[in-house]
Amino acid sequence: MEILIQAATEAREKAYAPYSRYKVGAALLGRSGKIYTGCNVENASYGATICAERAACVKAVSEGEKAFHMLAVVVDGDRPGSPCGICRQFLAEFGLDLRLILANVDGKRIECSLQDYLPGAFTPDNLNEGRDSIGLSTS
Q: Which residues are catalytic?
A: 53
Give the distance from CA 15 to its chain's centroid.
15
Indicate if the alpha-carbon torsion angle 113, 1, 78, 91 is positive or negative. Answer: negative
Of 35, 50, 40, nearest to 5 by C-alpha is 35
- Indicate the DSSP class of residue 119: T
